[in-house]
Amino acid sequence: MSRSSKPNQNARSSGRGMILTFHKVQPQFSFGANNFPPSRIEKLLGFLQRRGFRFVPLEHAVLRGEPSDLAITFDDGYAHLADVLPNLMQRYGVKPTVFIPTAFIGCDNTWDYSSSFQRTPHLSAAAIKELAKLGVRFGAHGHRHLDLTRCNQMELVEELKRPMKELENILGETVSSISYPFGRVNETVTSQARSAGYRFGFTMSYPDPLELPLAAGRLPIYGYDTTFSIRQKVEHGTFYAVERINSGITNRLSGGTSWWRRLCGN
């Protein structure tokens, strides 16, 4: 791979910038693969800047981004983001979007099977308001963090419309984006998302040149990722396909939470 400090301008043909997505970014140990501690994310953002990437708002990356444009997103909206994001925004110029499962605002992550071992609180409504004042954007992540592809019609409508309404009540502004829980989506879900009023929808799949605004892919970053593996992802390196497979396996394993909830009857 080239040692140039510039991103590979010819590696991508999708006509938009890239989107990275994180989940937990807490300093404490966390079960599972979703935690990427603050010290590591700071090093990563600095590295990406040195490689020539520019951090842009999510909507910019989707609609008119260049190959060197990166949008940063966070799924689940954990409470520790209130401490982490202001520093990242100030030091690196990150313009983050956070996706919130509204049933758990101000509550622990009891939707996640890992909460049986370690509970992690979500952002409160007050914290969401404070972060919004700093420039953090927010989107929906369902209401109860359900696999939307398994919802019946009534559940699906509620899981799409309710979080939009609740976030708009908190923020006092329009909410137009959704990150599908577990990255699971199909044509029924995207159709209903469009009907609910969403302009943008995001999965956990790798970006595809033929993707639509309501099923846009993102590059997931996990705790086991290294600078090398992330560079393969964002620069379409020699081992890009390998990293795509690794991320796909990890995302499929996240479905264990969905099965666990079904067994527990919630």
Predicted confidence (pLDDT) at residue 228 exceeds the cutoff of 90: yes
Domain spanning 18-264: CATH superfamily: Glycoside hydrolase/deacetylase (3.20.20.370)
CA distance 243 to 13: 19
| Lowest-confidence segment of 88-97, 131-140, 245-254 by average pLDDT | 245-254
Predicted confidence (pLDDT) at residue 266 exceeds the cutoff of 50: yes
Alpha carbons within 13 angstroms on the beta-carbon side of residue 139 total 26
Strand, coil or helix: 20: strand
pLDDT attached to residue 48: 97
pLDDT, tens digit, 9 for 90 and up, residues 117-129: 788 999 999 999 9
Residue 209 binned pLDDT confidence (cut-offs 50, 70, 90)? low
Strand, coil or helix: 220: strand
CA distance 93 to 40: 17
- The domain limits of the chain are 18-264
In the DSSP assignment, the letter for residue 108 is: B
Residue 31 binned pLDDT confidence (cut-offs 50, 70, 90)? confident
Q: At what angle do helices 187-196 and 153-171 cross, to 10 degrees?
A: 40
Residue 2 binned pLDDT confidence (cut-offs 50, 70, 90)? very low
Do you know the residue count of the chain? Answer: 266
pLDDT, tens digit, 9 for 90 and up, residues 151-174: 999 999 999 999 999 999 999 999
pLDDT attached to residue 29: 81
